[in-house]
Amino acid sequence: MICAGSFVRARDILGSTRGEFFCYTAFTSLRSAHGSSTYGYARLMKTGNFSSSISLKRTARNNQAPLFAKIVGSAEADRLTENGIGVEDLDADPLSLNQVSSRKNGSKSAQKGDMILAAVDMGTNSFHMVVVRADSQGRFQLMDTEKEDVRLGSGSPDLSVITPDAESRALAALKRFKILAETRKAEMRLVATSAVREARNRRTFVRRVRDTVGLEVEVLAGTEEACLIYQGVLQALPVYDKTILVVDIGGGSTEFVLGHEGKPIYATSLKLGHIRLSQQFLSLGSSKKDELKKEQIDELRRHIRVILADSGVIDKVQATDFEVAVGSSGTIESIEQMIHHTVTTSSDSQDVDGQPNANLLRDREFTADELNQVVKKICKAKNLEQRMKIPGLPEKRADVIVAGAVLLEEIFLAMGIKKIMVSPYALREGVIVDTLAEIFENYKPGFNIRKTSILNLALKFNTDRRMESAQHSASLAKDILAGLQMCSTGTKECVSDVALFLNKGDADLLEAATILHYVGMFINHKSYHKHSYYLIKNNEHLLGYSPMEIEILALLVRYHRKKVPSSKDEDFAKLPEEVQKKVRAMCAVMRVAVALDRCDSSAIRHAHIFQQSGSILLIFKRQASIIVADEHDLEALSVEAKSASLSS
């Protein structure tokens, strides 16, 4: 019988709060605190572990909505004020974020169905824009990303002024962003950080953006920026249920956040940025041949240590038992790229034993030792010309990487960080989340980003509405795997024995791959498993998965039909030997699960595995007609009895 044949072939793949205190953190837009016109907004987020209570009040006069936070009996009051939150008590006239965004930048209110949103991060070093498509439940996918190296903070050592040249570059970049957003019919939201926040001429700059480009700019307070970065990070990494420390090094400031389950426990922003420090201590903008002096580095380190010590951030971090450290934005991403280039090119693709180099699929993270080696390499390059030739380092970042790398090294030392994960998401994605949170009630982003990203991708390529069948096959795969893990034949070559070594993470990968197995049909039904492999491996929407896990997903989909995994496949051969065994076992299970629902009828509701003597029996209960549409063995299997068994 064909199902039995499929099962045998599958077998052959193996070869043979503290307490009661809480507060509401007021997210504020503070341009109007300095006299500029604005439509401010506020979001109140319950955070926990603060020993203070912050109440927000607001006034609206002549289309102005200045925001202030009143801190009541708080030991954090001075710190919050230093970070840009004005303390004042005013009458309230609420204005929702959705109303604010619509009124400011000409967007339309949310309609049923998908929404297109654009968020622009006007950073001190570069401007970033993301355009996303959000569905009716608030789940979003990236459509476009754009970046312009504006250097808004250059030309002013203390970031006290936005120079005419910097303003011209900013306006040109925003005009281009606006055109792209309008092409996508996206609602735009612009946020500015330290370069605008600290500039004496910020009101003039914001007014010129409005008059010249036709866009309103929200100037974020430092703590607000930090909390939005945290929300962005949660959309890219599976750390929602962990207590994490987020470090984001920007051009003008560095943000620190301690958070757990989507709630910031502590957030602050310090005037430590790579452009600011480069201009103050390293003569940014000097000749490419000017040499970097040891005295400059020493003075830079002393300054960083003083700022960190005086801020109180070290005490807060050391008092919190965080589980994971996460870094975001350009400096940390550039350092990770340099480290990745070093570890993947320092040795041959195979070691002396002929095994693949596991570093080829390493996670986006690095250790304190790896960081120290990179800092030494950067400081060893005596001038800009030499730094521009460092492998893995983007040329445009070569003039500010010294300050950024030294700053990160000092943060590692001060806070006892041993390893840091790198997030591809940061402030701009956090702004998207914040916007969606104002539109949808009970919105809980980041709770299970892995599952959400799998479903998003499956829906995107849901050709002929096959997703329901794929989900049913995934359920059958879980049933089969669970049954196999209860069996043992005493031979390491049997699927069931290898299945014993599969953990919950492996089972989740099997389920995800089975849900995605059909996506290649969007391109062509012929050889769709190969198209599926390509779409998964080269997709940017699978968030929360490591490079190794994405490779496993792609290979499972590639080998769920026709050829079995082989060491002749270079991608499969890259996997460590133990992982190869797991992939073979998961492929066997996946082949059977997909075959049991090839007719997309869900005729077999459940599958059960039993051990009988030396055999493994697959038993399913349901009278149905099943067609297994595999080109290699097209046959019809009529199940006339209420149960049937397949022997391994």
What count of Cα atoms within 13 Å lies in the side-chain half-sphere of residue 270?
23
**Domains present along the chain, CATH in parentheses:** 115-219 (3.30.420.40), 224-344+361-433 (3.30.420.150), 449-622 (1.10.3210.10)
The rounded distance, in Å, linking the Cα atoms of 144 and 132 is 7
- The DSSP element (H or E) to which 144 belongs, if any, is strand 140-148
For the CA atoms of 618, 619, 623, 626, what is the dihedral angle to 10 degrees? -10
Residue with tokens 């996460």: 326
- The DSSP element (H or E) to which 97 belongs, if any, is helix 97-105
The rounded distance, in Å, linking the Cα atoms of 385 and 291 is 10
Strands (E), 261-347: 263-270, 324-328
The 10s digit of each residue's pLDDT in 499-534 is 778 888 899 999 999 999 999 998 998 999 999 999
Q: What percent of the chain has pLDDT over 70?
A: 73
Give the pLDDT band of residue 490 (cuts 50, 70, 90). Answer: low
For range 286-305, the mean pLDDT: 88
Give the pLDDT band of residue 181 (cuts 50, 70, 90). Answer: very high
The 10s digit of each residue's pLDDT in 407-460 is 999 999 999 999 999 999 999 999 999 999 988 888 878 778 888 889 888 888
The 10s digit of each residue's pLDDT in 577-608 is 889 999 999 999 999 999 888 765 667 878 88
Provide the pLDDT for residue 485. 83
* Contact call for residues 426 and 129 (beta carbons, < 8 A): no
pTM: 0.74
The rounded distance, in Å, linking the Cα atoms of 509 and 585 is 12
